[in-house]
């Protein structure tokens, strides 16, 4: 009897131990690879290095300087405009593709779905190099075709077209990723709703407008939140295109690129840490405001 009670106590104790054991590896990695570097960056942002006098504690002086930095404001302005231009186009395309695939009217739907998603599997560095070659005013195929046809081709790497060119690259990369999220959300809609709507005389367009699009709101909120974070962290594409258009893309073209240039080119590690934290704060505030408005709109 006592042996049975002992085994019962051990069995009951196991669920309480299993949870922390399974979570522990994640918590350790989260502490070492995320919280520790973040804390160290916060520590660095409170100091300033001088050629004479060494490193001194300056408190929030770096943050005050960053708030009045015109280069940082210019970089934030670029990514904000990029967000306004690129994200609506990308999400509209993702919604259209998801609706087309979910309709069941496309032939070779699996092949089409894979083809739309495939650009996301291409590393952003490779994608930017590929599009940079296509954009090239001297060697790019667009320019060559324009010269052969005696047609004026826009300078895709010029100051007037650079944001649009960057938007095109990112849209090409991430439309398929967002399409998969939206398509998965459409697959969760009960088919009985479609059947009931069809019995009531609703056509494909009415079903899409009255059933599918309202059901996509949570998934659209998620994709838009990811797009906010990704847009304000824009780095790879402008960093690589700078080699092709150095007079258009400078070291402060985006806020993330500016922080990188400060740390690794200007050797201003302390100030770069402060700029990075301010950029993170901007992302957190915008994301929170967006989620607050989205939840408030959904709440009756």
Of the ranges 174-188, 192-206, 223-237, which one carries the lowest mean pLDDT score?
192-206
Residue that is written with structure tokens 């709440």 in the block: 299
Q: Identify whether the C-beta of residue 177 lies closer than 8 Å to the C-beta of residue 124.
A: no
54-57 vs 47-50, strand pairing mode: antiparallel
Using alpha carbons, select from 211, 182, 209 the residue that is nearest to residue 194.
211
Residue that is written with structure tokens 């309480």 in the block: 16
pLDDT in tens, 116-171: 999 999 999 999 999 999 998 888 898 888 888 888 888 999 999 999 999 999 99
Q: Is pLDDT above 60 for 99?
A: yes
Q: Where are the beta strands (DSSP E) in the chain?
A: 47-50, 54-57
The pLDDT of residue 10 is 45
């Amino acid at each position: 009897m006592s042996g049975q009670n002992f085994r019962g106590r051990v069995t009951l104790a196991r669920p309480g131990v299993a949870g922390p054991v399974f979570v522990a590896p994640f918590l350790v990695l989260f502490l070492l690879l995320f919280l520790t570097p973040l804390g160290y960056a916060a520590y660095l942002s409170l100091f300033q290095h001088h050629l004479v006098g060494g490193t001194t504690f300056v408190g929030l002086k770096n943050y005050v300087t960053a708030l009045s930095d015109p280069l940082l404001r210019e970089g934030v302005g670029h990514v904000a405009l990029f967000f306004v231009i690129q994200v609506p186009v990308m999400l509209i395309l993702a919604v259209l593709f998801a609706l087309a695939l979910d309709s069941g009217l496309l032939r070779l739907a699996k092949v089409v779905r894979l083809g739309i998603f495939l650009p996301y599997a291409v590393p952003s560095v490779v994608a930017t190099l590929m599009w940079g070659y296509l954009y090239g005013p001297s060697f790019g195929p667009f320019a060559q075709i324009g010269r052969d046809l005696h047609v004026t081709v826009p300078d895709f790497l010029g100051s007037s077209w650079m944001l649009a060119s960057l938007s095109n690259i990112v849209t090409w990369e991430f439309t398929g990723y967002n399409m998969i999220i939206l398509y998965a959300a459409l697959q969760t809609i009960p088919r009985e709703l479609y059947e009931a709507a069809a019995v009531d005389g609703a056509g494909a367009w009415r079903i899409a407008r009255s059933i599918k699009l309202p059901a996509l709101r949570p998934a659209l909120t998620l994709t838009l939140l990811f797009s906010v974070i990704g847009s304000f962290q824009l780095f790879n594409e402008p960093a690589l295109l700078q080699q092709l258009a150095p007079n258009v893309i400078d070291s402060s073209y985006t806020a993330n690129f500016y922080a990188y240039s400060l740390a690794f080119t200007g050797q201003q590690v302390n100030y770069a840490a402060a700029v990075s934290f301010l950029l993170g704060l901007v992302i957190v505030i915008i994301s929170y405001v967006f989620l607050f408005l989205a939840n408030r709109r959904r709440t009756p």
